Structure 1
Amino acid sequence: MEPKHRVNEGWEIAITLPEPVDADPEAEAIPITVVFEDAHLIVVDKPAGLVVHPGAGNWTGTLVNALLHHCGDSLSGIGGVKRPGIVHRIDKDTSGLLVVAKSDEAHQGLAAQFADHGKTGPLERAYSALVWGAPQSLKGTINANLARSQANRQKIAVVKTSGRHAVTHWQVKERFGPAQDPSVAALVECRLETGRTHQIRVHMAHIGHPLIGDQDYGTGFKTKANRLPPHLKDRVERFSRQALHAGLLAFAHPVTGETLRFESPYPSDFNDLLSGFRHF
C-alpha cells in the first residue's frame, strides 16, 4: 500500500513485522586505513562505499563493525551500542577523514568541539567537491536551513522557515571547460561551519552547482555528460558516487590539547575524474 493511499472505513489491514535484529554490532575483519591512533582516539581514511554505523539496510559491513574488530572493547560507549565512539559522520559514498573516540573522555571532548563548529577552537573540516558548472564568484557562503524533504523523507531540502541552521563556505580552486568557456565544471573546496546531513550536497545543488555523480541531488544535470568529449563522458558515466572527498580534518586532542591536523590525498576514482576534467 502506498503511504498516501486513502483508507476506507471497514477495511481490515494486516501488518507483517520483520524479525527483530540484534542491537549489538559484531566485529568484522574489514580492512581500514588508520591515519592516527592512540589510547584515546583513532583517525581513519574512509573509502567510498563504506557506511559509518549500522542502521536500516546496513546492519553489517560498516565502519563500526571494522573498528570493533580493530579496537576490540576500547571504543567509547557514549554513542550507544550501534554507534560506539562515533562523534561525526560522512556519507556512505563520500570518501575521507573521520575521527572516532576510543575513550569516554575523548568522546566528550570531541563532541564538544564538533558542537562548537570550530568557533573557539582549531576544529577544521574541508571537503573537495567536483561540481557541475563554475560559480561566477571565486568564493561565497551558503546560509540556508535544512530539513527532511516533504516530498521524499530520505532526502534533505533547503527550507525557508524552521529546519536546522546550516552554513557552508566554498571557494573555487579550478574551473574546467574549453579555453573559450571554462564553465563546464569546477573543483570547489567546501568548509563546514555546521555539520548537517547531506549539507554540502544540498547546499551546492541549491546554488545551481550540484556534485557530479550525485544520484539524489544532481540528476537534473545528467544530460550535461552528453556534451563532454568522449573520453571525459566515459569517466563521468563510470563515476558511481558523488564527487566529494573529506580531505582535511583538524582538531584539538581532547586529552592532551595538542592540535592535530590530517590531510588525505584524493582516492583513485576521484583523481581519475579530476584528471579527465583537467585535460578537457
Structure 2
Amino acid sequence: MNSPKQDDRAQDDKVRQFTVAADDDGIRLDRWFKRHLPQIGFATVSRWARTGQIRVDGGRAKPEDRLATGQVVRVPPGGENTAPAPRTRKPLTEEEIASAEAMVIEKTRAAIVLNKPPGLATQGGTKTHSHVDGLLDAYVGDDEPRPRLVHRLDKDTSGVLLVARTPGSAAFFSKRFSGRSAKKVYWALVVGVPDLSEGLIEASLAKQPGTGGEKMHVDEENGQPAKTRYRVVDRAGNRAAWVELHPLTGRTHQLRVHMAAIGHPIVGDGKYGGQDAFLTGTISRKMHLHARRLVIDSPDGKIDVTAELPEHFAASMENLGFDPAIGDALPDQAPPPPGREAKKQAARKHAKEYRKARRGERRQRSGGPANRGRS
C-alpha cells in the first residue's frame, strides 16, 4: 500500500502524525493534503501552516514545500467535514468485470495498459454512462488506490490506453505525456493516397464556433500549434492508403482533422470527412484509427506495448490487401524531414556527382585518356 502511514506516537488522540510514503516523494505539502486528507480545505491548510500548527519533521512548513520519503507530517486536530463525502460507486457486474479484464495487455507495479475497443468512451459525460473510467474498480486489489487515467482516446478510436495504478505513478506518466517524451504510433486507413509518401503536417487547431466545442478546425490565426508526422505504409491503388501517424502535439481530434485537412480523411470519420470518408463495398463504416503502439518511461522500467487491431479494422486491412506485419517492421519513429542545411548538402552532393558524370561523358566523346595512342 502506498498511502501514508499514521504513526502511533501521536501526542494525543486528536493530533495525527503521518509518515510520507515513497509514492509521495517530491509532492507539495498542499497537494499531499488534497491527495490523502481531501476533507481539509486549502484555506485551512494555509492557516495551519501560517500559525505553525503543521510540522514536517518537527519544523514549520509552507503549503508549497515539497515532502520527501520518510518525513513525518504532524496534522493538528480539526478541519474535518469541510468537504462533501465522496460519492459511492455502483458495484460492477460480472459482465463489466470480464470486459475490463479482457482489455488488459500488460500490468506492472506502476501501470495497467489496456487495448480500448472502439465505441467505448474513455470518460463519462452527458448521456455517456459506459466508459473506461467507470470500469477501473475492476483493477483495485486489497489496500490499493483506485487507478487513474492519465491520457485519453476518442470514443471511436481503439488501441493502447495507459492507466496509472498509484497517485505517484499518475504524476510521473502525466509529465511524460505532457512533455512529449512518450512515443505514440497510430495506424489509420485513409481515403485516397497522399501525394508525398511521408511528411509533416503543421496546422494550428481551435474549437469550431457553433459546435459547442465538439468539433475542431484548422485556425492558423487563433488556434494552438499542432504537428503530425505521417508515413504511407501501403496503398490500395488510388482508392485508399494505410498510414502510420506520429502526433508530435496532443490536440483534440488532431489526427482526424489533419488528415482531413490534406484531403485524405480517415475512413469512417464522417465528422471530419463527411460522406467522402466512407468507402463502398465491404469496408466497415466504423472509424479506422488505432493507437497501435506506446513507448514510455515508467517508474519501474520502460513500457513498450502493441495493441491488436479491432475486428473491423483487421477485416478492412485484409479486404484491401494490407499485411500488418509490414507496418510492425517499420522503424519506431519516422525520420524527421531534412532541414535547410541538410537540403543544401544534398543539393551540393547531387551537383558534384552530376558534374563528374558529365566530365566522363565528354572524355568518352572526345577520345579521353583511355582512347589515346590507339589511332
Structure 1 position 24, deviation (Å): 6.1
Cross-structure match for 2:111: 41
Letter matched to residue 192 of structure 2: G
Instruction: Report SS of the residue matched to 1:278.
Output: coil
C-alpha distance in structure 2 between counterparts of 1:242 and 1:26, whole Å: 31
The normalised TM-score by structure 2 is 0.58
Higher helix proportion, which one? 2
Letter matched to residue 306 of structure 2: E
Letter matched to residue 225 of structure 2: H
Structure 1 position 264, deviation (Å): 1.3
> Is 1:141 aligned to 2:200, yes or no?
yes
Cross-structure match for 1:266: 309
| Pairing partner for 1:192 from 247, 264, 288 | 247
| Pairing partner for 2:319 from 269, 276, 279 | 276
C-alpha distance in structure 2 between counterparts of 1:214 and 1:24, whole Å: 37
Alignment of 1:225-244 (within 5 A): 225=279, 233-236=280-283, 239-244=284-289
Cross-structure match for 1:162: 222
Higher relative contact order (CA 8 A, sep 6+): 1
Question: How many residue pairs get matched?
Answer: 229
Structure 1 position 39, deviation (Å): 3.2
Instruction: Report SS of the residue matched to 1:269.
Output: helix
CA 1:47–1:75: 2 relative to 1, 3 Å: farther
Aligned 8 A contact 1:28 1:61 in 2: no
Alignment of 1:1-280 (within 5 A): 26-29=90-93, 30=96, 31-32=99-100, 33-58=103-128, 60-71=129-140, 74-75=144-145, 85-118=148-181, 123-153=182-212, 154-176=214-236, 182-221=237-276, 225=279, 233-236=280-283, 239-253=284-298, 255-256=299-300, 258-278=301-321
The normalised TM-score by structure 1 is 0.76
Letter matched to residue 107 of structure 1: A
Identity level (%): 31
Instruction: Report SS of the residue matched to 1:216.
Output: helix
Letter matched to residue 244 of structure 1: L
Structure 1 position 74, deviation (Å): 3.9
Aligned 8 A contact 1:68 1:75 in 2: no
Structure 1 position 38, deviation (Å): 2.8
Uncovered stretches (5+) of structure 1, i.e. residues with no partner: 1-21, 77-83, 177-181, 226-232
Structure 1 position 95, deviation (Å): 0.7
Uncovered stretches (5+) of structure 2, i.e. residues with no partner: 1-85, 323-375
CA 1:103–1:55: 2 relative to 1, 3 Å: same
The superposition leaves residues 55-113 of structure 1 with CA deviations (integer Å, 9 ceiling, x where unpaired) of 1221x22111111233268455xxxxxxx611110111111001011111101110100
Aligned 8 A contact 1:75 1:101 in 2: no
Letter matched to residue 287 of structure 2: Q
Instruction: Report SS of the residue matched to 2:272.
Output: coil
Aligned 8 A contact 2:198 2:232 in 1: yes
Aligned 8 A contact 2:292 2:307 in 1: yes
Aligned 8 A contact 1:26 1:65 in 2: no
Aligned 8 A contact 2:115 2:308 in 1: no
